[in-house]
Structure 1
Amino acid sequence: MPYRTADLALAAPALDELTAARVRDGRAPASAWAVLGPEGVVAAGAQGEGADTASAFRVASCTKSFTAATLLTFAAEGALSLDTPLTDVLDAAVLGASRAPTLGELASMAGGIPIDDPWADRQESMTTADFDRLVGEGVRLAYEPGTTYEYSSFAYAILGRVLERVGGRPYPELVRERLLEPLGLTGLAFDRTVDARVIEGFAKVEGAWVQQPWAEPGAFSALGGVVATPTALATWAGWLASAWRDDATDDVLAAGLRRAMQEPRTPVPGPAGSHYGLGLVVEEDPRHGRVVSHSGGYPGFGAHMRWHPESGIGVVVLENARYSGATLPATQALTLLLDGASTPAAAPALWPETAAAREVVERLLRSWDDDALVGVAADNVVLDESFALRRATAERLRERAGLAVDAPVAPLDAVALRSDSPAHLAWTVPGAAGRIRCEIRMTPVREPRLQTLALRLA
C-alpha cells in the first residue's frame, strides 16, 4: 500500500492533543513525543509541567534494542555467535534445564528464564562483583531453552555482562563507542551526563505524584538504563527502520543485521502474529502489515517506540510516571499516522451519494451550514450529536489545522484515504498547520444518506 510521507509534520496538533490528554487524565506528569519518517525525525512535542522536546527521560526496556545491536556488532566481527552457549562466555551456573541457553535464545526471550520485571527493574545499580556472584551461584530456568517465550529482563542483564567480558569494557562504554558515537547520536546516554535536561520520574501514591529515586548505572543497565530525549530515541528508531530501505547502508551495523533484529523469532502468546525478535517486538497489523516496537516501564518512567518498516513512519512516546502504559498513546499515534498517510493502489468504487456527501463535508469544514448537512444526513445524525456540537468540532479542527475557508478541495487521488465499501470513505484534509481526518458512512437504502460523520485531527 502506498504511503504519503511528505506532510507527516502536520500530525503535530493531533499528537499534542493525544499527549495532553495523558497529562490531563493523570496518566503522567509529563508526556513527550516524536514522529519519524523515511528521512528522519519530522516533529516533536511535549506536554506537562517542566517538559519540552529537550527533556531526557529513562527509556527503560527500549534499551534492549541497544543491547541487541551491540551484541550483533560483536557477532559481525566473529567475536561471538548467537549460537554461542552462555556458559562458554560467562561463569554462570544454569539450573533447571538440560543445557545452557544460547546468546540468541536469551536475546529473543527464549532463554527459559521466568519473567522478572518487578525485581530486575530495581537492580540497575548492582555492582559487577555482586552480579558475577549472583549468576555464579545459579540462574534458575523455568523452561528448556528455545522452547517457550518468557519475557526476561535478567536475560538482558546477562547479555550486558557477556558483552563486557568479550569487549573488555563497561557496557555503557561499548554502546557509546560502537553505536552512539559512530551514528552521531546526541541527547542519549546512561546517566545524568546526557547532553539534555533530565526530567524526574514519579509514581502516583494515594492520588499524589511522588518523586522516585534515581538509579545509577550498574550491572543491570543493559536491560533499561538508557536516558534519552524523544528526538534522540526517534533518531535511533529511524536508523533501525532505515534497514528496510532500498538504499540502506551498512554503516555501523549492516542493514541485514538490523533487519534480523526486526524479524520474528519467538512466538508471543496472545495476538496472532506477534513475536519477539532481537531486542524488539514484531507484530502484524491487520491493515498496515508489519509493525516493530518495544515498550519500557521503570520506576518513575514509561516509554514506547514503534515504527512501520514498509513506510518508514514511526513514533516515540516518553512519560515520567511509573509503568505509565505509554504503549497505548504510541499505538494510537502510529495508527493515526498510518491511516493519515495510506492510499489504496486503485481509486475506490464509491456510490455517487458517498462521493457527494464527501463534497458536502469538505464544504462544512471550511464554512459550516446546517442546511447543507440536512440535505444529505439521515435522521440519526442530529439525534446522535447536535448540529451545534458538530459545528463547534468542525470549527475547532479547522482552526487547529489551519484550513483556509477558501482552500480548494483536493481530488480523491491526491489525498490519503481508506474505503471499506462503496458506502464508506475515510480521508485526510491537510491544512497549513495540521490535518483533519474525516470518515463517513451511508445508509443501506435506495437513496443512501449520511449516517456517520466523524471528524478528528490526524
Structure 2
Amino acid sequence: MGPGQAMTTESRSPVSTSEAAAVALDAAFDAHNLHMAPAALAAVFDRTGVIAWRAAGEPRRDGSATDRHTVFRIASMSKSFLAATALSLRDEGRLELDRAITDYVPGVRFLLDGRDMSVTLRQLLTNRSGMPEDNAWGDRQLGAPREQIAALASEGFRLTAEPGERYQYSNLGMSLVGRAIEAVTDHPIEQEIATRFLEPLGLVHTRFEASDYPGGGTLAAGFRTFDEGATFADEPFVGSGALACIGGLFSTIDDIAAWAAFLASAFTDEPRRAEVLSAASRQELQRVHTMIPIGAARTHQELDAVGYGMGLVVEHDRRFGHIVQHSGGLPGFSSHMRWHTPTGLGVVVFGNSDEFLAAQLAIRCHAGVLDRIDAPAEVVRPWPEALDFAQRIDRALRADEPLAGLDNVFAENVMRDVPADVRERRLAQALDSLGPIDATQKLLSARIRSSASPADLRWIVECQRGALLCEIRLVGIRRPLVQNLEVSPIEPPPEALRL
C-alpha cells in the first residue's frame, strides 16, 4: 500500500502491535527527562485496553513505587467529559448549542470595545467565543465558588475578538457550559458526568475529589520544581469548585484508555455503547470546529492541519492522518492523551510535576508505535462500483482489449478528455519500456495500492520490467461512473504518461 491509506483487507505488518508498543514506550521513556517529576506513568492502548505500560519514580516521594493503578490528576483532559455531557443533553433535546449562553445562564455579559456581545454554547465549547486565553489564571481558580465566578460574569467578561472569529483557549468560557448543564438538569455538573459516562462505562477510578480515594494510597501527590528537577516542593491539590468541570478529574491509565477506546470506536463499524452517546455525536467531538494556527499549536510534528473539536484537539498528521488528543496541566501535574482513529492505537502519559512535559513523551511514543506497525492514515472501503469497474478495466488491459469498448463504465467525458486512440498509443509506449503485461497476475485485491476515498482506487498491473499504475475516480451520482482514468508506467521509466 502507498503511505497514507489502507484497504481493510490488507494484512498487518509482521511486527505485533504489543511488541511495537513496548519498544516505542521504552524508547520514549529513555529519551525523556524523567527527572522533571518525582513520578511518571505511561501506557499504550488499543481498542481492547492497555497493551503496554511503564512507570518510574515515587508518586508521593515516600518510598512507594509508581504502578499501573496510581491515580494522577488529569487536569484539562477533563474537558472531553464536559463536552460529551453537553452533546448528550443536546441529543435529548434539552440543550441547544446555537443558543446564547444567557438563555441558560442569565446575567452573563460579554464586552467587546464596550459593546455587549452574544456568545453561544457552541462557541464556548469550541474555543471561539472571543474570550482570551486564561490558563495561568484559570489553573488557580479551579476551586473558586460558583458565586464568585457568577459575580465576575455579571460584571462582564472582556473579549479580544468577535465571537466565532478565531481560536482562543478559554477555561473560564468552557466552564460556563457546565453552568448551562446544571441549569437544565438541576444537578451539579460533576454528578451529570458521573451518571452519564463514568458509571455506565465502568470508569471507577475517575473522580473529581481526592477524598473519593479512601486512604489516598493510590494518589500521586503534586510537586513543583524550580531548579530543573534537582529539588521538589509540595504542591497541594487545587480545589474543585466552579471550574472543576474543565480540569478537576483524577484518573488512571486504564480508565483513560477505556474512555479513549469508547470515543475512537465511533469511527468503526461497531461503535461501543451507543446508548451512552451516539457514534455521530462522538465523531462530532473529534472533528475540527475551530482552526488553530500551526504555530500556535507549538508542536514539532509534521501536521497538515490542527484544530479544536469539542473538548478535544484534532490533528491531521501528514503521515498518519486523523489523531485526537488533549493535554492537561495544573500546578503539580502534567498529562496527555492521544489516539489514532483509524487504528484505535493511543497513548496516555502522566507526570506529577507541571514541568514534566507529558505531551512530548506521548507524541514521541505514539509516533513510534504507529511507525513500527506502518499504520495507515485512513482505512477506506471503496464503493462496490469502484471495485467492479477496476475489475473490468483490469481484465481489458490484460486481454489487450480496447478500453473504449467497455459498456456502462466511463462517464462521457473520459474518452473526450483523452481520446481512445491517444490512450492506446500511450499505453503502447508504456509497454515498450515495461515489457508485456504478465499473463499471470495476483488477485486484484492483492494488487490494490490505495483508496483515497470510497470513490477512488489505485492498483497495479504487473509487467515484465515494472508495472502499470491504474487510477480511477468515480463521480458521485446515484449510479456512479468512472470520470477519470489514468494509467502510468512505474519503474522504468520514471516519468508518468497520462493514458
* Counterpart for residue 9 of structure 1: 18
From 166, 178, 189, the equivalent of 2:196 is 178
1:42 aligns with 2:51: yes
CA contact (8 A) 2:24 2:369 kept: no
Describe the SS at the equivalent of 1:62: helix
Return the alpha-carbon distance in structure 2 between the equivalents of residues 326 and 13 of structure 1.
Answer: 18
Aligned residues: CA RMSD: 2.1
CA contact (8 A) 1:23 1:31 kept: no
1:70 aligns with 2:85: yes
CA contact (8 A) 1:35 1:313 kept: yes
From 166, 172, 175, the equivalent of 1:154 is 172
Q: Which amino acid in 2 is paired with 1:259?
A: Q
CA contact (8 A) 2:78 2:246 kept: yes
Change (3 A) 1:117 1:323: farther
Which ranges of structure 2 fall in alignment gaps of 5 or more residues?
A: 7-11, 59-64, 295-302, 378-445, 447-499
Deviations 1:49-86 (A, max 9, x none): 23111111111111110110011111011111110111
Q: Which amino acid in 2 is paired with 1:12?
A: A
Return the alpha-carbon distance in structure 2 between the equivalents of residues 61 and 127 of structure 1.
Answer: 19
Return the alpha-carbon distance in structure 2 between the equivalents of residues 68 and 343 of structure 1.
Answer: 29
1:243 aligns with 2:266: yes
Query: Following TM superposition, by how much is the alpha carbon of 1:13 offset from its aligned partner in structure 2, in angstroms?
Result: 4.7
Query: Following TM superposition, by how much is the alpha carbon of 1:344 offset from its aligned partner in structure 2, in angstroms?
Result: 7.5
* Counterpart for residue 239 of structure 2: 216
1:94 aligns with 2:107: no
TM-score by length of 2: 0.66
* Counterpart for residue 490 of structure 2: none
Query: Following TM superposition, by how much is the alpha carbon of 1:4 offset from its aligned partner in structure 2, in angstroms?
Result: 5.2
* Counterpart for residue 333 of structure 1: 365
Which ranges of structure 1 fall in alignment gaps of 5 or more residues?
A: 346-412, 414-458
From 211, 219, 229, the equivalent of 2:252 is 229
Describe the SS at the equivalent of 1:188: coil
Query: Following TM superposition, by how much is the alpha carbon of 1:216 offset from its aligned partner in structure 2, in angstroms?
Result: 2.5
Return the alpha-carbon distance in structure 1 between the equivalents of residues 130 and 285 of structure 2.
Answer: 20
* Counterpart for residue 401 of structure 1: none
Count of aligned residue pairs for this structure pair: 345
Describe the SS at the equivalent of 1:44: strand
From 271, 280, 289, the equivalent of 1:256 is 280
1:305 aligns with 2:337: yes
Describe the SS at the equivalent of 1:154: helix
Return the alpha-carbon distance in structure 1 between the equivalents of residues 317 and 123 of structure 2.
Answer: 25
Which structure 2 residues correspond to residues 426-441 of structure 1 after superposition, within 5 A? none
Q: Which amino acid in 2 is paired with 1:260?
A: E
Deviations 1:339-394 (A, max 9, x none): 1112689xxxxxxxxxxxxxxxxxxxxxxxxxxxxxxxxxxxxxxxxxxxxxxxxx
Which structure 2 residues correspond to residues 7-406 of structure 1 after superposition, within 5 A? 7-10=16-19, 11-19=21-29, 21-22=31-32, 24=34, 26-49=35-58, 50-91=65-106, 92-96=108-112, 99-192=117-210, 193-194=212-213, 197-206=218-227, 207-249=230-272, 250-270=274-294, 272-342=304-374
Query: Following TM superposition, by how much is the alpha carbon of 1:140 offset from its aligned partner in structure 2, in angstroms?
Result: 1.4
Query: Following TM superposition, by how much is the alpha carbon of 1:37 offset from its aligned partner in structure 2, in angstroms?
Result: 1.0
TM-score by length of 1: 0.72
Of 214-223 and 292-301, the range deviating more from structure 2: 214-223
Return the alpha-carbon distance in structure 2 between the equivalents of residues 233 and 16 of structure 1.
Answer: 20
Return the alpha-carbon distance in structure 2 between the equivalents of residues 332 and 296 of structure 1.
Answer: 17
CA contact (8 A) 1:58 1:225 kept: yes
Change (3 A) 1:106 1:343: closer
Return the alpha-carbon distance in structure 2 between the equivalents of residues 211 and 20 of structure 1.
Answer: 26
Greater Rg by CA: 2
Return the alpha-carbon distance in structure 2 between the equivalents of residues 317 and 248 of structure 1.
Answer: 25
Of 315-324 and 101-110, the range deviating more from structure 2: 315-324
Aligned-pair identity in percent equals 37
CA contact (8 A) 1:41 1:238 kept: no
Deviations 1:196-233 (A, max 9, x none): 71100111024411110112211110111010011111
